């Protein structure tokens, strides 16, 4: 059984081309709307991205500042016992007066700390 649609073949072809053309028009219109929305969204996200970059730069700067502050605090914490030892040596010796007295006390503290370090090193070697 062979179906012959000879007089209608061209009508079916034109109808299918018309449906295809309608689908293409709908697709293009939806794509254009999508492109417009993407441009609007991109314009809205650009300030956000700029602010994000600025915030990253600021956080990096804050982190660097914290690291510097921690280094300064470590140095200060290491210097406090030394300064207290110098003050104790200065106040213990009645012959020390003024700035020269403080420098002499600092030299004395430095010498005793070096002597203690060498003594500890010798003890460690002996063990």
Mean per-residue pLDDT over the chain, rounded: 87
31-60 pLDDT, tens digit per residue, is 999 999 999 999 999 999 999 999 999 999
The reported pLDDT for the residue numbered 1 is 58
Work out the average pLDDT over 89-114. Answer: 83
Q: Give 56-86 pLDDT, tens digit per residue.
A: 999 999 999 999 999 888 888 877 888 888 8
C-alpha–C-alpha distance, residues 124 and 105, integer Å? 28
């020269």: which residue's tokens?
100
Residues found in the chain: 127
* 52 burial type by CB count under 10 A (0-12 exposed, 13-18 middle, 19+ buried): exposed
């Amino acid at each position: 059984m062979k179906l012959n649609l000879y007089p209608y073949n061209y009508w079916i072809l034109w109808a299918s081309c018309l449906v295809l053309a309608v689908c293409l028009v709908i697709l293009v219109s939806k794509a254009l709307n999508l492109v417009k929305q993407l441009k609007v969204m991109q314009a809205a996200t650009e300030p956000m991205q700029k602010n994000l970059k600025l915030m990253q730069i600021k956080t990096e700067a804050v982190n660097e500042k914290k690291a510097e502050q921690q280094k300064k605090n470590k140095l200060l914490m290491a210097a406090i016992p030394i300064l207290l030892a110098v003050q104790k040596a200065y106040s213990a010796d009645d012959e020390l007066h003024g700035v020269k007295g403080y420098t002499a006390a600092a030299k004395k503290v430095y010498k005793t700390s070096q002597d203690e370090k060498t003594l500890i090193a010798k003890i460690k070697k002996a063990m």
